[in-house]
Amino acid sequence: MHGPCTLGDNCFIGFSSVVFNATLGDDCVILHMVLVKDVKIPPLRLIGDGAVVNKQGIADRLGEVTVGDSDF
């Protein structure tokens, strides 16, 4: 996590991921090797391994966290 960031409750941020100048809603799951920059991620969103989320349109289209993801 770098710069001005807001992290919601119960979020998971995977190994080697970078969150920069971003807001994460509650219960987000960010898997490994992800870049999140200059966006607001809604609650209950999943970002898969290696993804780059650097435009709000990408962030708005992210899938929701499943029960299996949240158990992880």
Domain presence at residue 1: no
Domain that holds residue 16: 6-65
Q: What local confidence, expressed as pLDDT, does residue 36 receive?
A: 98
Domain presence at residue 70: no
The two most distant CA atoms of the chain are separated, in Å, by: 31
Question: pLDDT by residue (tens digit) across 26-68?
Answer: 999 999 999 999 999 999 999 999 999 999 999 999 999 988 8
Distance CA 13, CA 68 (A): 16
Return all residues near 68 (Cβ < 8 A) that are at least 6 apart.
none
pLDDT band for position 20 (cuts 50, 70, 90): very high
Distance CA 13, CA 45 (A): 12
Q: 19 forms bridges with which residues in the sheet?
A: 36
Q: What local confidence, expressed as pLDDT, does residue 67 receive?
A: 83
Q: What local confidence, expressed as pLDDT, does residue 68 receive?
A: 81
Q: What local confidence, expressed as pLDDT, does residue 69 receive?
A: 78
User: Taking the model in full, what pTM does it have?
Assistant: 0.91
Q: Number of folded domains in the chain?
A: 1
